[in-house]
Structure 1
Amino acid sequence: MRKSILVFIDWFDPGFKAGGPIRSAVNFVRHLQHHYDVYVFTSDRDLGSSAPYDGVKTDTWIFYDGPAKVLYCSPGNLHWKYIREVINDINPDHIYLNSLFSKFFTIYPLLISRSVGWKSHVVLAPRGMLRKSALQYKSLKKKLYLRVFKWLSLHRHISFQATDDTEFNDIKKEFGDTVRVTQIPNFPAYVQAYPGSLPKKPGELSIIFVGRLHPIKNLHFLLERLRGLKGRALLTIVGSEENKAYVGQCRSLSASLPGNVRVKFEGEKPNHELPVIIAAHHVFCLPTQGENFGHAIFEGLSAGRPVIISDQTPWRELVAVKAGWDVSLTDSIGFERALQDMLDMEQVQYDEWSGAAWKYAHQFSTASDALSQYTLLFQ
């Protein structure tokens, strides 16, 4: 008899505004649904939306892309009693939480599991929320929450999943060396065939930025680095404008750039449209303050586009394989140099880097041992 996993996550496919966590959960479900009975409990609308998804049945289990089932919960049923009934009805072997601070999709499942004596094995994936760069926002509320979390000893009864060395160390630092932490990378998306290179003239460059317009994604840093470029550059920005003050700052910065640099704000786009959008640009840029995986970065590489990113992601030593650059955020000159190198590239060199970026993603995807590691976690 197959074991069951009940996944809790605030937003799930067809949502896309919450970014990477949704993609992590979708890849998780698609890889594990043929080995476990997988159930996903999520909300019936996207991040910040006041209306439910079109054409999606709510408050009932429906099949999702295979044998896995999803329950899109309406706001009226997001309460303790209903969530407890869902857990009791499924009676899962494992509960998998995809957030640290969510009221309905982490706190309630944890407290319900505690109230019944931890009948299910609970795994919590913090999704980068313990990074210093993430804890600096709404810091007082988060510190209080973590204090209560530890006072209730919740961390002593669950397992944590870290996706890289940084997250492993962050969990240990916050909850102590005795907590159970398993380090397993996120499932990568399937890498399609190489989409080909793009025409590339020296002195011309198209850049794509994909991410929430929030200080943690560091768009303002990228905009400042464009100021001194020698040549013509176009930056396309794709992402939800969740922080209005920050968006205003970035728009003002873009308006102050010299005439050889153009900036387009394209707003948010569904995940299924991103591969084509990314592939239409020469290079993917994301000077993020921290990613525990960076699905958009992986999509850039999968599209055969070199990336210029910060060193605060798992994607490192990229120059050595000609897949891009991972530059310290303290090295603004190094970031500008990487952009200028890309701008100056001619066709033959660009073709080489484009092919190398795709090869890097393809090799990562085929070499991933995530399935066997998750199988050990969910024994």
Structure 2
Amino acid sequence: MKRKVLICIDWFLPAYKAGGPIQSIANLVNHTKTEFDYYIATSNSDLDSPLSLPEEALNVWSEKDGFKVVYLDPAHQNLKYYKQLFIKEAFDVVYFNSLFSQKFTLLPLMLFKNLNIRKVLAPRGMLGKGALEIKPLKKKIFLTLFKVLGLQKKVVWHVTAESEAFEVYKHFGKGCNVLLAPNLSAKTKQKIEPKEKKVNELNVFFLSRIAVKKNLGEAINYLAEIRSSYHVNFSIIGPKDEMEYWQDCEVKIKQLPKNISVKYLGAIPHQDISKKLINQHILLLPTQHENFGHVIMESWQNSCPVIISDQTPWQGLEKDKLGFDIPLTKKNEFIAAIELFCAMNKDEYHIWSNASVNFSKKFTENPELIEQNKALFLNTLNN
């Protein structure tokens, strides 16, 4: 008999603007739904707007493609309704897809706190130094409350890299029950057409939420110092999560030299991303922190090398011609990496492009990763 797994997540498909966390769960469910009975509890909204769902589809379990989902409106995101909705289902496992979520982590975790049910929590990179520096007081209070209630001892921590395990131990102690299981990705397309690439020209894209953590402003700063002999087309893809920050970025964009062309493409549903990346050459993402970075893997899957910060699990990229991972303090290295790709001809670029897509195929088709993710839900013991 398959184990029943409840997944609590703030946003889920058809929502897409929240990016990586949605894809993490969608990929996990698609890879393993023959092994588990999944029930997904989520809100009836996307990152900044309500979903277009009929009234009768809210606050009740609905059958989807091999799993069940309930879209909860704000009036039903409370402990009283959770008790009514969840307890009767007799779940074997509950999986929390965030650390700093009041409605979809803290409240349901309080409900299940003392029940004999396996509780798994994915911090999703929220314990990284860069992430904690954003709204630090609010997060410090949350972490303090979490520890006072002893919740860190009630869960199995799902980390996606050794660096994230270190973060959990740092904040909650060595006694935490930690399991490593890298995020699963959608399968790489079997056939990728070679990209056109002209010498001294480069198509660069930023793919993420427009927020301080993702560091779009710093990416624009790098482009401002690219030599005038190089022409860069810069495409910005992602929702305007923090409007004041976006306005600061707009000011910088207007001050860019003539050899840098910028287009804001907005938020794009995940299923349409590949179409937008057909003519792109590299991802530029000087993020302050990622525990995985689905957009990085998606770039490789679409044969685009990456120029990213060293604040992700992806390290030593240059030796395998996958791109560059650079400390945020080394601005000149970011600029040099962009100019290196600018100067490449088609044949030189294809070496990096092919290395990227081949790496993504090897990673996404690794059966060991699927087994690691299944292990999150299989062990009946809990702290």
TM-score (norm 2): 0.95
Match of 1:4 in 2: 4
Count residues in correspondence: 376
What secondary structure does 1:126 align onto? coil
Q: Report the more deviating stretch, 78-87 or 204-213.
A: 78-87
Closer, same or farther: CA 372–202 of 1 in aligned 2, 3 Å: same
Where structure 1 has 5 or more consecutive residues not aligned to the other structure, the ranges are: none
Q: Structure 2 counterpart of 1:281, which letter?
A: Q
What secondary structure does 2:31 align onto? helix
Structure 1 residue 149 corresponds to structure 2 residue 163: no
Match of 2:354 in 1: 355
Match of 1:223 in 2: 220
1:82-93 counterparts in 2 under 5 A? 82-93=81-92
What secondary structure does 1:38 align onto? strand
Match of 1:206 in 2: 203
Match of 1:68 in 2: 67
What secondary structure does 2:204 align onto? strand
Closer, same or farther: CA 110–55 of 1 in aligned 2, 3 Å: closer
Q: Report the more deviating stretch, 119-128 or 220-229.
A: 220-229
Match of 2:18 in 1: 18
In structure 2, distance between residues paired with 1:371 and 1:90:
26
What secondary structure does 2:235 align onto? strand
Structure 1 residue 189 corresponds to structure 2 residue 190: no
8 A Cα contact 2:317 2:325, kept in partner: yes
Match of 1:365 in 2: 364
In structure 1, distance between residues paired with 2:63 and 2:318:
43
Match of 1:239 in 2: 238
In structure 1, distance between residues paired with 2:347 and 2:92:
54
Closer, same or farther: CA 364–56 of 1 in aligned 2, 3 Å: farther
In structure 2, distance between residues paired with 1:74 and 1:318:
43
Match of 1:310 in 2: 309
Deviations 1:212-235 (A, max 9, x none): 111111111111111222311110
In structure 1, distance between residues paired with 2:332 and 2:350:
25
Identity percentage of aligned residues: 35
In structure 2, distance between residues paired with 1:107 and 1:60:
21
Of the candidates 140, 159, 164, which is equivalent to residue 162 of structure 1? 159
Q: How far did residue 38 of structure 1 move? A: 0.8
Q: How far did residue 63 of structure 1 move? A: 2.3
Match of 1:289 in 2: 288
Closer, same or farther: CA 281–29 of 1 in aligned 2, 3 Å: same
In structure 2, distance between residues paired with 1:272 and 1:54:
23
In structure 1, distance between residues paired with 2:280 and 2:38:
37
8 A Cα contact 1:118 1:157, kept in partner: no
8 A Cα contact 1:279 1:300, kept in partner: no
8 A Cα contact 1:45 1:53, kept in partner: no
Match of 2:261 in 1: 262
8 A Cα contact 2:182 2:373, kept in partner: no
Match of 2:333 in 1: 334
> Greater RCO between the two (CA within 8 Å, min separation 6)?
2
Deviations 1:58-111 (A, max 9, x none): 22222222x211111122221211111222122110000001121121011111
Structure 1 residue 43 corresponds to structure 2 residue 43: yes
Q: How far did residue 305 of structure 1 move? A: 1.0
1:44-59 counterparts in 2 under 5 A? 44-53=44-53, 57-59=57-59
Structure 1 residue 119 corresponds to structure 2 residue 113: no
Deviations 1:250-307 (A, max 9, x none): 1111111111111111211111111111222111111111111100111100001111
Q: Report the more deviating stretch, 83-92 or 178-187.
A: 83-92
Q: Structure 2 counterpart of 1:302, which letter?
A: Q
TM-score (norm 1): 0.96
- RMSD value, Cα: 1.5
